[in-house]
Amino acid sequence: MARTAIQKKLHLARAWASRHPVWCAWQVNYRCNFRCAFCNYWIDPMGDQPELSTADFRAGSRKLSELGALLISLAGGEPLIRPDIVEIVDAVAEWHFPFITTNGWFSTPELAEDLFAAGLWGISVSLDYADAERHDRRRGMPGAFDRALAAIEHFSAARKYKWQRVNWMAVLMEDNLDQIEPMLKLAAERGAYFMVQPYSVRKTGAKRFQHLDDDGVSRHLLDLRRKYPNFLSNPYFLSRFDAALNGGVPGCRAGRGFFSIDSTGDIAVCVEERAHPVANLYQHSALQIVQRLRNDKAPRKCTACWYNCRGEIESLYDPWGLTKSLPTLLFDRGRPRDMT
């Protein structure tokens, strides 16, 4: 029997209290129609591998439910390429909180309605600039900005429940810090939240954002968060951006707070370690998966990223960060408060 929203929240709390992972990045594919300059997934040889069926997602989701309820990010590649994405969301939503990260290209009003009706908890649409020409150029796809903006509007209009959330997701790069505030405004005008994450050496090869002050990024982002009610990123997460951009944040909880499943069911401590799986969703029990993830101690020395899937989840293990996350996790905050 499918869990209710309240039951899922209780099971999520149980997973957190048991020190089981609470976040899973599940790659539904590695295929993508974009040619982003800062991402190599579209040339990744894993893109040629077989992909899990809807039945596989349902069976795997049921097994993961033994750990509690998880926040599950259905990503890629581009997940909306899959014609069965609505069925995949339905399979995951039976026990967990499914999210989708998308470039927005394949969004339609009908697909948005179907995904939310299937139990989608939230969606993040990737947009890195308030300027169409700059976004399209960086993403390698003319029209990317307009299609992403339309996707935000589709999903904002299609929400069925208060808890269903629409996010504008921006990647902080070397040339778009000044774009954060305009993007916040554009998101708010469309009833959407705004979140940001920095790309790092694992994606871009850039070890430092040369134009940014060593100690100015976190302060700037936190000031904007106080100013704009739709800036959803956890302040603990934002407060570590300076460290992330200038040497890295130690103490990664990959494998303990979060983990990754690739498009064939192989499990790694994080998505960037997908070439080094420690278990398989269909070959190992839930207990074996947790044990194998915990036994991989290499991530604890890694400082190479400060992605959302790391920083937002690690916020839950900091008293200040947890306090700021609880309203989002426990209460129905699907649409941001009026900016005025």
Q: Kindly state the average pLDDT of the residues 203-217.
A: 57
The pTM of this model reads 0.91
Q: Kindly state the average pLDDT of the residues 36-59.
A: 75
Q: At 166, list the tokens.
A: 């629409």
Exposed e or buried b for every residue in 258-282, given b needs 16+ CB within 10 A? bbbbbbbbbbbbbbbbbeebbbbbe
Residue 335 or residue 227, greater confidence: 227
pLDDT tier at 50, thresholds 50, 70, 90: confident
Order of strands, sheet of 23-27, starting from the edge strand that comes earlier in the sequence: 193-198, 165-172, 122-126, 97-102, 71-75, 23-27, 258-261, 266-268, 279-280
Is residue 206 scored above 60 in pLDDT? Answer: no
> What is the rounded average pLDDT for all residues in the chain?
89
Q: Kindly state the average pLDDT of the residues 139-151.
A: 93
Dump pLDDT digits (tens) for 163-197. Answer: 899 999 999 988 899 999 999 999 999 999 999 99
Dump pLDDT digits (tens) for 304-326. Answer: 899 999 999 999 999 989 988 87
Exposed e or buried b for every residue in 210-247, given b needs 16+ CB within 10 A? eebeeeebbebbbebbeebebbbbbbbbbbbbbbbbee
Is residue 21 scored above 60 in pLDDT? Answer: yes
Is residue 40 scored above 90 in pLDDT? Answer: no
CA distance 216 to 209: 12
From the options 2.70.98.10, 3.40.50.1370, 3.20.20.70, 3.10.20.740, give the CATH code of 5-330.
3.20.20.70
Residue 211 or residue 115, greater confidence: 115
In three-state secondary structure terms, 335 is: coil
Phi, psi of 265 (to 5 degrees): 100, -5
With tokens 């994080």, the residue in question is: 270
Q: At 116, list the tokens.
A: 């939310």
The answer to whether residues 77 and 29 touch, using CB atoms and an 8 Å cutoff, is yes
Query: For residue 179, what pLDDT is reported?
Result: 96
Is residue 77 scored above 70 in pLDDT? Answer: yes
The domains of the chain are located at 5-330
Q: At 68, list the tokens.
A: 């509690």
CA distance 178 to 167: 19
CA distance 269 to 278: 8
The answer to whether residues 234 and 315 touch, using CB atoms and an 8 Å cutoff, is yes
In sequence order, what are the residues at sequence separation of 6 or more whose Cβ sits closer than 8 angstroms to the Cβ of residue 278?
Answer: 255, 267, 268, 269, 292, 293, 295, 296
Percentage, residues of the chain above pLDDT 70? 88
